[in-house]
Structure formats: structure tokens, C-alpha cells
């Protein structure tokens, strides 16, 4: 199988398992499906794998993955992506799973681009669901011309004058990560207080980053890209900043999207599952942050275990007579 780069309405794909959500849990589930010799398709609304980690925390160190004392988010995602490719999956990126119909021997999932995936089971690993960035109130027309909401690769902004807007973890992480490689970094936040972790706030004030509070972006200008941004306070204090890049880290709007209409039992916008990671629908399973059960702890490492548990039960479901226990990987 391969990446389906171009959408073709009416195309039908037949697989054993469809995984919805290409974050860390979905990528590991994809690998594990291949380990259990299942044909697997992986779908995600984003144009690349990695989910929230790649989009929001690519440069942040992650400390809760077994065997890795610390790993950058993007490094973890890159390794998981490479591992997932061993399953020879069909990658359906830049697509949203819209409709689901469950039959006695399988499910049919339609995409927003008119494709149809016929699978014997579905595993939902959508993290917090689909998420869209909160838009910068002014200057949105510069998206792709200097304005961005994600910084998956800091090197893309090397030697530029960068304005970061926001006061949360993502804003400070990106500002601190860019400081060593950008020509200059300015951080603007509308409040004197920050929502980020105290350690990050301390690092910010000890850095060479110019911090402007309580300022908001009032005007963005330049042709064809950004070359100037005006920020101001409510009292009328105005500053004009010469920048070529604006990173708007104003938070995200999470939404279950079409999944909410799939007839799944929900608890506070999370999908209820049993001890096998099965939902209230026979052939639909869930794992990762979106799945919920009593005592749930949201950790990447736990998501990995949930994905493996779900895939093993799916293997036994879709291939009657298949052993639930996969044996040791070293025996393969």
C-alpha cells in the first residue's frame, strides 16, 4: 500500500482495519496492525502524520515514553512514522472520516472527499478530535505569506525577525525554541500574566526575547509577505515591529466532528470503551486521549498500550481462530 496523494471521489479501498487519527497512538496502532498481519489504512484530516505532537509541540521534550529519557516531539513522531511504514499502510492524509455504517461482517467509512473505506473494524485514535487554530483577529489574509499557526520545523524561520503572539505553552515553547536560530524574536501577549508553565515563563524573562505586554496585534502589512506589524495596548500605546514572520499561538478549538454522529456512547466528549477498548458498537474501538474508562490516565505511553490491546482484540474479531496473544516480537 502507499500514500493516496490525490483524492478520487468514488474510489473504494478494502482493508482489515481503518485507524482514524495519525497521532502517536494511531501511528503505533498502524505498526501493530502490520505486526498482526492486518491490512491497514490510516486516515487523518491533517496533511501529515503526527497529530497534536507534530502540530503543537514538535520541539518540546517528551519524558514519558519508555526507554527514552527525553525525546523531541518531532523526533518521536518521525520514528513512529518510520515504524508505521513497516505495516505498508494506505495513508489517507488530508481527509476527514465523515460517515460510518456498521454491518454484520464489517464497516464502511466515507471521507469528505467522496472516497469509501471498507474495513472489518475501525480503531479511533483521534486524540482530542479534530482541532483548528484560533485565528489572529487581523492579518489572516497573510496565512502562508508570513503568518502561521504551527511551527513543525523551527529551521524554516532561521535568520528571520519573528513575532510570536500568545501566552500559553505553545507560544513560549516556540519563542524559546526560535531564539537561538532567528535573527530576533518578539513575544506579544494581551495580558501581563502567562498561562504557560512557570519554568517556561522564567526562561522567557531570562532570555533575550523582547516581551511586550499587554499588547495586541492591530495591523499587519507588507507585499507580498509580511514586513511590518503594529501592536498596541488598550491605552493607545503603539509599537511598529519590523518582522517577516508571525506565529499566532492563540489556542485551538477541539471538535469531535462527524465522529459525534457515529452512535458512540460518549462521556464529556470522550468515547466510552470497555477493557478491550471496544466501544458500544461491535466493530468500533478507540484508544488514546479520546478513549475513556474509569481510572483513565492520559499519557502517550498508555496510548501505545491501548492501541496494542485494541489491535489484538480486533485481530481475533476479524479473523476467527486467530490467537488473541500475539507472542513475542523477537520470534517474528
Q: Is 13 annotated as a binding residue?
A: no
Q: Is 4 contained in some domain?
A: no
How far apart CA 296 and CA 289 sit, in angstroms, is 9
Q: Is 155 annotated as a binding residue?
A: no
Q: Is 45 contained in some domain?
A: yes
Q: Is 3 annotated as a binding residue?
A: no
133 pLDDT band (50/70/90 cuts)? confident
Q: Are residues 264 and 126 in the same domain?
A: yes
Q: Is 293 annotated as a binding residue?
A: no
| Cα–Cα nearest to 15, from 29, 35, 27, 33 | 33
Q: Are residues 236 and 265 in the same domain?
A: no
pLDDT for 6: 66
Residues 6+ apart with CB under 8 A from 140: 147
Percent of the residues in the chain that have a pLDDT greater than 90, as a whole number = 73
Are 243 and 82 in contact, with CB atoms under 8 Å apart?
no
Q: Are residues 269 and 305 in the same domain?
A: yes
Q: Is 45 annotated as a binding residue?
A: no
**In degrees rounded to 5, what are phi and psi of residue 125?**
-130, 45
Pairing of strands 147-148, 245-248: parallel
Q: Is 207 annotated as a binding residue?
A: no
Q: Is 131 annotated as a binding residue?
A: yes
Pairing of strands 216-221, 228-232: antiparallel
Highest mean pLDDT of the ranges 40-54, 72-86, 124-138, 252-266: 72-86
Of 250, 276, 303, the residue that ends a domain is: 250
The more confident residue out of 83 and 56 is: 83
Q: Are residues 141 and 199 in the same domain?
A: yes
Taking phi over 0 as left and psi of -120 to 50 as alpha, with beta for the rest, 129 belongs to left
Q: Are residues 144 and 49 in the same domain?
A: no
Summarised one tens digit per residue, pLDDT across range 39-60 is 999 999 888 899 878 877 777 7
Q: Is 7 contained in some domain?
A: no
How far apart CA 183 and CA 45 sit, in angstroms, is 33
How far apart CA 149 and CA 165 sit, in angstroms, is 10
Mean pLDDT for the stretch of residues 237-259: 89
Is the pLDDT at 2 greater than 70, yes or no? no
pLDDT for 129: 57
Q: Are residues 278 and 213 in the same domain?
A: no
Q: What is residue 318's three-state secondary structure?
A: helix
User: Element (H or E) spanning 211, and its range?
Assistant: strand 210-212
**pTM recorded for the entire structure:** 0.76
Mean pLDDT for the stretch of residues 211-221: 96
pLDDT for 332: 64
Q: Are residues 227 and 257 in the same domain?
A: no
Query: Residue for cell digits 509599537?
Result: 239
Residues 6+ apart with CB under 8 A from 7: 94, 95, 111, 113, 114, 115
Q: Are residues 269 and 297 in the same domain?
A: yes
How far apart CA 215 and CA 234 sit, in angstroms, is 8
128 pLDDT band (50/70/90 cuts)? low
| Cα–Cα nearest to 177, from 220, 205, 209, 199 | 209
Q: Is 330 annotated as a binding residue?
A: yes
| Cα–Cα nearest to 45, from 132, 169, 159, 143 | 132
Quote the domain boundaries for residue 99: 12-132+253-331
> The CATH number of the domain where 87 resides is what?
3.50.50.60
Of 235, 250, 265, the residue that ends a domain is: 250
Of 215, 250, 285, the residue that ends a domain is: 250
User: Element (H or E) spanning 220, and its range?
Assistant: strand 216-221
Percent of the residues in the chain that have a pLDDT greater than 70, as a whole number = 95
Peptide bond into 118 cis (omega under 30): no
Please compute, for residue 43, the number of CA atoms within 13 A of its CA located in the half-sphere on the CB side: 27
272 pLDDT band (50/70/90 cuts)? very high
Q: Is 3 contained in some domain?
A: no
Mean pLDDT for the stretch of residues 280-287: 97
Summarised one tens digit per residue, pLDDT across range 26-43 is 999 999 999 999 999 999
Round the average pLDDT of the chain to a whole number and report it: 91
Mean pLDDT for the stretch of residues 280-299: 95
Give how many domains the chain has, as a whole number: 2
pLDDT for 27: 98
Pairing of strands 121-124, 17-20: parallel
Lowest mean pLDDT among 86-95, 143-152, 249-258, 291-300: 249-258
Peptide bond into 224 cis (omega under 30): yes
Neighbours of 237 (CB within 10 A): 11
Is the pLDDT at 331 greater than 70, yes or no? no
Q: Are residues 305 and 266 in the same domain?
A: yes
Q: Are residues 112 and 155 in the same domain?
A: no
Summarised one tens digit per residue, pLDDT across range 300-329 is 999 999 999 999 999 999 998 888 888 777
The more confident residue out of 78 and 329 is: 78
How far apart CA 55 and CA 127 sit, in angstroms, is 12
Amino acid at each position: 500500500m502507499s500514500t493516496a496523494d490525490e483524492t478520487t471521489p468514488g474510489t473504494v479501498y478494502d482493508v482489515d482495519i481503518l485507524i482514524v487519527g495519525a497521532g502517536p497512538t494511531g501511528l503505533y496502532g498502524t505498526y501493530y496492525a502490520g505486526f498482526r498481519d492486518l491490512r491497514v489504512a490510516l486516515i487523518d484530516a491533517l496533511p501529515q502524520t503526527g497529530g497534536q505532537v507534530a502540530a503543537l509541540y514538535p520541539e518540546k521534550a517528551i519524558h514519558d515514553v519508555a526507554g527514552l529519557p527525553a525525546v523531541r516531539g518531532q523526533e518521536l513522531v518521525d520514528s513512529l512514522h518510520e515504524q508505521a511504514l513497516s505495516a505498508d499502510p494506505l495513508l489517507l492524509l488530508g481527509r476527514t472520516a465523515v460517515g460510518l455504517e456498521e454491518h454484520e461482517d464489517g464497516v464502511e467509512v466515507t471521507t469528505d472527499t467522496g472516497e469509501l473505506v471498507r474495513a472489518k473494524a475501525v480503531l479511533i485514535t483521534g486524540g482530542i478530535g479534530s482541532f483548528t487554530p484560533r485565528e489572529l483577529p487581523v492579518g489572516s489574509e497573510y496565512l502562508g505569506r508570513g503568518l502561521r499557526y504551527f511551527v513543525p520545523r523551527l529551521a524554516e524561520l532561521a535568520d528571520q525577525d519573528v513575532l510570536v503572539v500568545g501566552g500559553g505553552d505553545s507560544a513560549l515553547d516556540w519563542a524559546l525554541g526560535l531564539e537561538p536560530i532567528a535573527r530576533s524574536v518578539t513575544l506579544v501577549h494581551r495580558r501581563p500574566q502567562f498561562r504557560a508553565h512557570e519554568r517556561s515563563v522564567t526562561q522567557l524573562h531570562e532570555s533575550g526575547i523582547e516581551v511586550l505586554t499587554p499588547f495586541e496585534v492591530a495591523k499587519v502589512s507588507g507585499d507580498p509577505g509580511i514586513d511590518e506589524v503594529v501592536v498596541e495596548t488598550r491605552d493607545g500605546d503603539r509599537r511598529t515591529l519590523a518582522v517577516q514572520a508571525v506565529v499566532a499561538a492563540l489556542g485551538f478549538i477541539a471538535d469531535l466532528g462527524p465522529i459525534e454522529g457515529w452512535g458512540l456512547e460518549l462521556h464529556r466528549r470522550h468515547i466510552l470503551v470497555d477493557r478491550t477498548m471496544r466501544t458500544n458498537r461491535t466493530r468500533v474501538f478507540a484508544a488514546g486521549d479520546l478513549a475513556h474508562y474509569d481510572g483513565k490516565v492520559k499519557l502517550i505511553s498508555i496510548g501505545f498500550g491501548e492501541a496494542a490491546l485494541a489491535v489484538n482484540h480486533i485481530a481475533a474479531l476479524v479473523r476467527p481462530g486467530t490467537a488473541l496473544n500475539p507472542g513475542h516480537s523477537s520470534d517474528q
